[in-house]
Amino acid sequence: MTLLFPIVFFSVLDYTYFNWRKNSMKVKNSLDEILYEHIVESLINGDYGMGQNLTLDELAHRFEVSRTPVVQAVKLLANDGILQIMGNGRIYVPEYDQEHVRQMCEVRQMVEGHALERFMSGLGLSAESVLAQLNRYSEEGVRLTGSSFSPKEFAMLDRRFHRLLVEASGNRILLETYDRVQGRFLVSNYLLCPLRLRDFSGTARDHVRLVESIRSGDITRAQHCLQQHIEGVLRRL
């Protein structure tokens, strides 16, 4: 069957997720990878709820593809903990709760905190170029939370901001770990509190403060800002 994805399917979240997978798994831009991204977006948008059963035929019909790429995409999603496959072949969306997100936040704090320490200790990428880009992201975030607020655009920006923090560490394995954790975190977080209900103004302010603390060169202060920022996820659920 011919793939009929319309252009509108390629949202900003699709683009962000595809780059995570491409960078972390080093796979080609195949149909199952593209389908992976679209299923993730459907979960984030609330098209499927927690505990809901999914079928290969339903997914193939929705995305106008054959069963083969659906099977491969579902395997990738299950491997990343985003979907679950039972012994009888049943596919369903996991039941997430705040404790799950709390644990994911703990992992994020460890990964991002270590990455931040490496970067600020001079072990990673060029401080000047990274700070300039982080500053651009934080300024754009403030703009996006204004009158023309776009939750999807801000979500993409938020992911870019944090991924750059980890990338700046210069540790490729750390970045691969982050990519894997962040995909699962994003889906569980937005299933609990849908994207359309989010207020990202606090997140935007946190980004500004974090950039300022990094620029000051005070690692302890920057680590504290990052920790408080990630913990804010739970307060905003």
Domain ranges within the chain, ordered by starting residue: 7-92, 98-235
Given 1.10.10.10, 3.55.40.20, 1.10.510.10, 3.40.640.10, which CATH number is that of 7-92?
A: 1.10.10.10
Give the pLDDT of the chain (237 residues) as one tens digit per residue.
434 433 333 344 444 444 544 444 433 458 888 998 889 888 877 789 899 999 999 999 999 999 999 999 999 899 888 899 998 889 999 998 899 999 999 999 999 999 999 999 999 999 999 999 999 999 999 998 887 677 878 888 898 999 999 999 999 999 989 988 887 898 888 888 888 788 899 999 999 999 999 999 999 999 999 999 999 988 877
Q: CA-CA-CA-CA torsion for 34, 35, 41, 47, nearest 10 degrees?
A: 160
Q: What is the pLDDT of residue 211?
A: 97
Amino acid letter for position 228:
Q
Label residue 27 left, alpha or beta by phi (over 0 means left) and psi (-120 to 50 means alpha): beta
Q: What is the pLDDT of residue 75?
A: 93
CATH number of 98-235: 1.20.120.530
Cβ-contact 65, 1 below 8 angstroms: yes
Q: Could you tell me where the DSSP H helices lie in the chain? A: 12-25, 31-44, 56-63, 67-79, 98-120, 127-144, 151-167, 172-192, 201-216, 219-235
